[in-house]
Amino acid sequence: MDPIMAQLRARYVASFPEKRALLQAAWQAIPTHPGAKMDLRVLCHKLAGSAPMYEFIELGAAAREACNAIDSSYENSAVATHIDSILTILARD
């Protein structure tokens, strides 16, 4: 891998704990703060855009699924599965 790309990728991975914490906070805030769902969507949208560019294909796909679920469902339970997937990948990688 290109050394600059490797460096950028390492920096991206280093940001996973922060991304995970932000996602968790937005997810947990949904029952009490209606605006949190939009925050969650923005976070997922960003992940869906950036993860594949850093070659984290699975993470990007999970984030895209989460975005679609947020857009198409009023039920939080339908979103929960995808958020769990994202959080798992972020914790694993």
Partner 1 sequence: MSFLLPPVVRDYLNEVWFEQRSMFCALLTDQGTIAQSLGPAHVFGLSVDAPEILDMIAGLGPDEHVVIPFVQFGNGRAAHLHHAARAGQRFVLLFAADNTFAEMGAQQQLANELALANVRQAQTIAALTQAQQLLRDSERELKRTHDLKSLFISKMSHEFGTPITAVLGRMRLLEGVLNAAPAVAGVAEHLNVVRRGVLHLHQLVQSVLDEARLEQGTLRLEPTRVRLSAIVDDLLQLFSAVAQEKALKFEAVFDGDHLLWIDALRVKQILINLVSNGLKYTHQGKVSLYMHWREGRLTASVTDTGPGMTREQSSSLFQPFKRLNERSSVSGTGLGLAISRELAQHMGGNIEVRSTLGDGTCFIFTMPCETVASLELGQSRAAKVLIVDDDTDIRELLCAVLNQDGFNVYEASNGAEAEERFRTLSPDVILLDMQLGAEHGTAVARKLRKLGCVSRIVALSASNSDETARLALTSGCDAFLSKPVDFTRLKELMQEN
Residues at the interface with partner 1 (CB under 8 A): 4-5, 8, 11-12, 15, 42, 45-46, 48-50, 52-54, 60, 64
Q: Quick one: 12 or 76, whose CB is closer to partner 1? A: 12
How far apart are CB 60 and partner 1 at their closest, in Å? 7
Q: For residues 73 and 79, what is the distance between their CA atoms, to the nearest angstrom?
A: 8
- CB 59, CB 86: distance < 8 Å: yes
Q: Which helix (H) or strand (E) holds 76?
A: helix 76-92
Q: Quick one: 18 or 84, whose CB is closer to partner 1? A: 18
